[in-house]
């Protein structure tokens, strides 16, 4: 827990010289869909983020996401396996977006994060570094408020050379100061 917070703090502090002046905060909710995984079903994702404006239409977005995947449903047999819980601490780099502007603004995002995956039932608790990429559409309704919709893919390498993949669809709002 301490290591991810130190990483986010370091990224935030080192980004301060390039900031052009805007700061925002946001929240989002949506669904997370596992890709090629039979050990869990789609689940809920909740995200909290800060947005720091940089020059040239770029923004840094330190964030935290809480995902709770659904329990799997096997056709061949019954199982009491539960879906995993994922807490992700990361930072995204956004290209585009509204950042205090009124109207529709698309953006692309790419990020890296620390993904802590747990299953209470099996006492599984793993922490891995993963990455994400996606597209978003931000609709600025006022200079201080925008609606934010995004689709994002997440890939987290696992032990043994494989990876866990998922895609999320979220909607939320951002407030700018």
Report the CATH number that the domain containing residue 169 is assigned in CATH.
Answer: 2.40.160.20
pLDDT at 138 over 80: yes
Question: 172 is written with which tokens?
Answer: 């939320």
Do 73 and 94 meet the contact criterion of CB atoms below 8 Å apart?
no
Q: How many domains does the chain have?
A: 1
**pLDDT value for 19:** 47
**8-22, 35-49, 121-135: range with lowest mean pLDDT:** 8-22
Is residue 10 scored above 70 in pLDDT? no
Whether the pLDDT of residue 62 is over 80: the answer is yes
Which CA distances in Å does 40 have to 45, 68, 73, 79, 127? 14, 10, 8, 11, 18
- Rounded distance between C-alpha atoms, residue 15 and residue 13, angstroms: 5
Q: What are the phi and psi torsion angles at 167 (to 5°)?
A: -130, 140
Calculate mean pLDDT across residues 24-44: 89
* Predicted pLDDT at 28: 97
Which class for 72: exposed (0-12), middle (13-18), buried (19 or more C-beta within 10 A)?
middle
Sign of CA pseudo-dihedral 141, 144, 145, 151: positive
Mean pLDDT of the chain: 85
Structure-block tokens of residue 132: 């994400």
First to last CA, the chain: 29
pLDDT of residue 17: 46
Report residue 110: phi and psi, to 5°: -140, 135
pLDDT of residue 100: 75
- Averaged pLDDT, 104-132: 88
Listed in sequence order, the residues at least 6 apart from 24 whose beta carbon sits closer than 8 Å to its beta carbon are: 50, 51, 52, 53, 99, 100, 174, 175, 176, 177
Decide: 166 and 34 in contact? Cβ < 8 Å. yes
pLDDT digits (tens, 9 = 90+) for 71-92: 776 666 666 677 788 999 999 9
User: Range of 72's domain?
Assistant: 2-176
The neighbour count for residue 37, using CB atoms within 10 Å, is 15
pLDDT at residue 174 above 50?
yes
In this predicted structure, the answer to whether residue 166 has a pLDDT above a threshold of 90 is yes
């Amino acid at each position: 827990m301490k290591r991810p917070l130190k990483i986010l703090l370091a990224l935030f502090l080192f980004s301060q010289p390039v900031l052009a002046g805007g700061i925002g905060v946001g929240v989002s909710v949506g669904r997370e869909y596992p890709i090629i995984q039979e050990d869990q079903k789609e689940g809920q994702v909740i995200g909290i983020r800060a947005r720091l404006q940089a020059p040239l239409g770029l923004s840094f977005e330190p964030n935290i996401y809480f995902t709770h995947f659904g329990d799997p449903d096997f056709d061949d047999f019954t199982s009491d396996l539960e879906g995993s819980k994922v807490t992700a601490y990361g930072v995204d780099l956004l290209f585009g977006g509204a950042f205090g502007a009124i109207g529709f603004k698309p953006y692309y995002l790419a990020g890296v994060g620390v993904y802590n995956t747990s299953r209470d039932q099996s006492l599984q608790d793993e922490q891995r570094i993963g990455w994400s990429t996606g597209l978003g559409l931000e609709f600025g309704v006022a200079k201080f408020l925008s609606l934010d919709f995004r689709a994002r893919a997440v890939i987290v390498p696992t032990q043994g050379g494989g990876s866990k993949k998922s895609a999320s669809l979220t909607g939320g709002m951002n407030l700018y100061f």
